[in-house]
Amino acid sequence: MFAGYESLITTMALTGILAFSFHVVLMAGQLSLGQAGFASLGAYISTLVVPETPLFGGLSPVLVGIPVGMAVGATAAFVLGLPVMRLRGVFLAIATIAFAEVVRILMLNAEWTNGARGLRLERWVTPELAWFVLAILVYAFWRLGPSRIGRAFAAVREDEVAASSMGVDVARTRMTSFVASGAIAGLYGVLFAYFVRRIGPSDFGFSMMLDGLVVAVVGGFLVFFGPLLGSAFITMVPEVQRAAGLEAGWIHPFVTGALLLVVILLLPGGLSSIAGYLHGRLRRSPPPAPSTGPRAGNEPPELPELPAADTPVLTLNGVGKDYGGVHAVHDVDLELRAGEILGVIGPNGAGKTTLVNMISGHVAPTSGDGHVLGRKLGAAGGAHRVARAGVSRTFQHSKLFDRLSVLENTLVGTHLVSKPTFVRRLLWLPSARRDENRAVSQARRQVQRVGLADREHVPAAQLSYGDQRRLEIARALASHPSLLILDEPAAGMNRVEAAELSELIRSLAADGVTIMLIEHNVHMVLDTCTRVVVLNFGEVIASGPPQVVASDPQVIEAYLGSDETGREHV
């Protein structure tokens, strides 16, 4: 069927498959290069089980090896992931390269692998089979993108701290993408082995890692068809070279390297981002929501009850946090009851952000104890578990997912109130669409609530500063929090915008949300809050109704009357 081109066509598909094993970790913001090791283990171990004759009905024996190779790759990734998943960036890359090298040396010295001479195998992989497997992968990644786990990958890639405060279990999400990468690399290993007919340890060396990475990066990891484009492009380089009569061996690596450089410098989203750009330009109407979009009559997901008015939401007893010799927060006692709007004010460096970081689980206290929504402060598990208890927050310095749109950012916020959809999306089950629509509906409500409905498809990075603050609030609201912590939400807003924000906060409290507002805009705090706490040098120096606190001489001395803060005075 592909007379004369079988090799080229199969190589293109196999390269695409290899690139997907890099794509899935890049999607979650990780640079792993251990795929050569997973592929090697998958390939060698599958040779122990793949029969030497066709299966019943003439099916390719490699079909037996595929699940084995995938299971081996996934298991190896899981075992390796346990120690290395705590590493980031270049350290993760180095650790995974070391793993691949260890596997290569083991295979080189083992007897059953035939050492450097390698193993001779039958060719059981046809172009049709290779492309069939690649098509399944493309389909799976297409369905993955707008699913709940796909959004979690994107959130972890864009900002791990923000992702965890939306309830995304960052460690688990990173491990999931790593194990998926191992499974796909194992799959590649099996197909590669039964295509080239002879495998040796050197086939799974550094150049294989680089090839896979280059294809994934050149194709682009923000769009599901990136590896497909990348492999088509890179595989064609030697063909074009041959057609042009350029036989020199250095041309291929040179062109590949140059291409990688051009993409990194000029096209960080890879070749597939051009397609995405053209798609956006050609479309007159705004692009659709990342999932199927809500339909008339869509209900938001089932949301848990908020705590009844006046029940304790937060209790702190003598809580403190030291950084070396700095007492960022010292001996703070605080109680917050459902329905309250608590303002926290104080000069720069007073400890406000450290206090909320302890409450939201991003920082562990060094002294004292406390409970937030029934969860012990500083308990193991991290910020995503605090979020699961019902705490949601914004950050002093915006932590938006810059490359995601307004709606996509807010959809990540629905993580805790939506259901996993990936497997059901693969099977095209109507319940997956219904659940996605519910999540979109929940997200849209929050986007509307903060006044960003007309910008829901704009990437977060392109919003004005004030709109970014609003988007952070929408994203925090999407999880239907019992306690909403707003860290300087009015920073950069003008008086009108701040007044609108104040109105929004009051309406949220009227709906039963308990709010903690850290703000330097004292007018706004006094207008909005039911109670105010003043921090100075990490300690509470005043607490009570806004007007009482505002006239406290100690507060005037420490904060309100001090010109050095440069803040608005009462």
- In the complex, which residues of this chain contact ligand ATP (CB under 6 A)? 323, 326, 328, 346, 348-354, 396
For residue 420, which phi and psi values (nearest 5 degrees)?
-60, 140
Tell me if 21 sits within 8 A of 189, measured CB to CB: no
- 298: DSSP letter: P
Task: Name the minimum Å distance from CB 359 to ligand ATP.
Answer: 12
- Nearest approach in angstroms of CB 532 to ligand ATP is 14
Secondary structure of 69-129 in the HEC alphabet? HHHHHHHHHHHHHHHHCCCCHHHHHHHHHHHHHHHHHHHHHCCCCCHHHCEECCCCCCHHH
Smallest gap from Cβ 324 to ligand ATP, in A, equals 7
Angle (CA) 486-492-495 rounded to 5° is 95
CB of 472 to ligand ATP, least distance (A): 16
Nearer to ligand ATP, 284 or 397 (CB): 397
SS3 271: coil
CA distance linking residue 290 with residue 173, whole number of Å: 20
State the minimum distance, in angstroms, from the CB of residue 371 to ligand ATP.
21
Q: Which is nearer to ligand ATP, 328 or 541 (CB)?
A: 328
| Strand order through the sheet with 367-372 | 326-337, 312-323, 367-372, 375-376
Report the nearest approach of ligand ATP to the CB of residue 562 (Å).
Answer: 13
| Residue 146, SS3 per DSSP | coil
* Cα 16 from Cα 14, distance rounded (Å): 5
Minimum distance from CB of 469 to ligand ATP (Å)? 15
CB-nearer residue toward ligand ATP: 362 or 425: 362
Q: Is the Cβ of residue 290 or residue 351 nearer to ligand ATP in the bound state?
A: 351
Please say which residue, 109 or 554, places its beta carbon nearer to ligand ATP.
554
Q: How many beta carbons lie within 10 A of that of residue 54, not counting itself?
A: 13
Nearer to ligand ATP, 37 or 343 (CB): 343
Residue 349 or 492 with smaller CB distance to ligand ATP: 349
Q: What span, in angstroms and rounded, lies between the C-alpha atoms of 204 and 104?
A: 7
Closer of 5 and 323 to ligand ATP (Cβ)? 323
Q: Within 333-464, where are the H helices?
A: 352-359, 383-389, 406-413, 422-426, 430-449
Contacts of 243 (CB under 8 A, 6+ apart): none
Closest separation in Å from C-beta 326 to ligand ATP: 5
